[in-house]
Amino acid sequence: MIPASVSASALAGRHVLVTRPAGQATGLCDALAAEGATATAIPTIRIEDPPDGSSLSKAARELSRYDWVLLTSANGVWRLARAAERESTLDDFRRARIGVIGPATAEEVARWGGTPSVIPETYQAEGLVDALLAGETGGVAGARVLLAGAREARSVLPEALAAAGARVDVVVAYSTVVERGGERALVDLLDRKALDWVTFTASSAVKAYVDLVGTRTAGARVAVIGPITAATAEELGLSVAVQAVRHTTAGLVEALIEDACRAGGS
């Protein structure tokens, strides 16, 4: 039952599935609850350290040799910073010229004492490429660049920077794997047609969802954080109904509110 204090909120009475990894769903769930929604977190992916962490450790030891350190997710920041802490090079991390994709990644950099030099206006790899190649950054020709991210990451960023003359070292900081622990609970929600929206904040979560239950949503509308995730969903056979304008979890909540209003839900 939704408390009376939030019964008039925009998403009151609506049920939203959050597919983010365990430990990373709280912010989105809390934001949804603040708007009156019931938010159920069932992770479809799990974040794991790479089988061999030697490349990440080597990169952490050599941080001072890089002109740019590029980080595309909070997961990558945490693992690189933790490796730097182990290698006694955390000060080098804090002094590094860091480029990030969006505000959540920037916040994690700040949590470790660093300051991003570049945050693109468009929170995706293409936006970071554009920002790095813009005149105000000095470009990347001849620069030594470290890119630490997911094993499954797209190749857009390193390929574009290499084409612009950068020497790019791509290091796997973590892997995403399908989380099967919540499969039964997910199937139950779908069987009961209990959901109004299924939300995705990463392509990897979409792929894992389809691995778990196929393209079945039982009438729930698919909502995604941005165009890359939307493209993945569509490629896999999911029909995207909602895409955030601002590619953040807050932007995703805003998009759900707008969708509810269009449907006469508030």
DSSP of 183-239, one letter per residue?
HHHHHHHHHTT--SEEEESSHHHHHHHHHHHTT--TTPEEEESSHHHHHHHHHTTPP
Where would I find the H helices in 2-113?
Answer: 26-34, 54-61, 74-86, 90-95, 103-111
pLDDT at 123: 79
Say which residue, 153 or 7, is predicted with more confidence: 153
Query: In this model, does residue 8 exceed pLDDT 60?
Result: no
Partners of residue 150 on adjacent β-strands: 174
Decide if pLDDT at 46 tops 70: yes
Q: Give the Cα separation of 175 and 162 in Å (integer).
A: 23
| CATH fold label, 4-44+179-262 | Rossmann fold (3.40.50)
What percent of the chain is modeled with pLDDT above 90? 77
Residue 173: enclosing H or E segment and its boundaries? strand 167-178
Distances 99 to 51, 137, 187 between C-alpha atoms, Å: 26, 10, 40
Average pLDDT over residues 72-96: 95
The two most distant CA atoms of the chain are separated, in Å, by: 61
Judge whether residue 127 has pLDDT over 60.
Answer: yes
Q: What is the pTM of this model?
A: 0.83
Q: Which of left, alpha, beta for 221 (phi over 0: left; psi -120 to 50: alpha)?
A: beta
* pLDDT(231) > 90: yes
pLDDT exceeds 90 at position 99: yes
CA dihedral 100, 104, 108, 110 (to 10 degrees): 80
Query: What is residue 52's predicted lDDT score, i.e. its pLDDT?
Result: 86
The DSSP bridge pattern shows strands 45-48 and 167-178 to be antiparallel
Taking residues 233-242, what's their average pLDDT?
A: 97
- Helix (H) / strand (E) element for 147: namely strand 144-150
d(CA 76, CA 72): 7
Strand 144-150 to strand 45-48: parallel, antiparallel, or no bridges (unpaired)? unpaired
Segment 225-238 shows an average pLDDT of 95
Residue 104: pLDDT band by 50, 70, 90 thresholds?
A: confident
Q: Looking at residues 243-266, what average pLDDT do you find?
A: 88
Nearest to 34 by CA among 3, 4, 6, 13: 6
**242 vs 220, 254, 256, 257, CA distance in Å?**
11, 10, 7, 10
Tokens matching residue 159: 């390929």
pLDDT given at position 5? 36
What pLDDT was estimated at residue 137?
59
Report the share of the chain in percent with pLDDT over 70.
94
**Which segments of the chain belong to CATH 3.40.50.10090?**
4-44+179-262, 48-176
Cα separation of the two ends of the chain: 18
**114 within 8 A of 139, measured Cβ to Cβ:** no
Is the per-residue pLDDT at 128 higher than 50? yes
CATH number of 48-176: 3.40.50.10090
pLDDT over 70 at 136, yes or no: no
Chain mean pLDDT for the chain: 91
pLDDT of residue 134: 81
Give the residues across from 242 on adjacent strands. Answer: 223
Mean pLDDT along residues 221-234? 95
pLDDT in tens, 160-213: 999 999 999 999 999 999 999 999 999 999 999 999 999 999 999 999 999 999
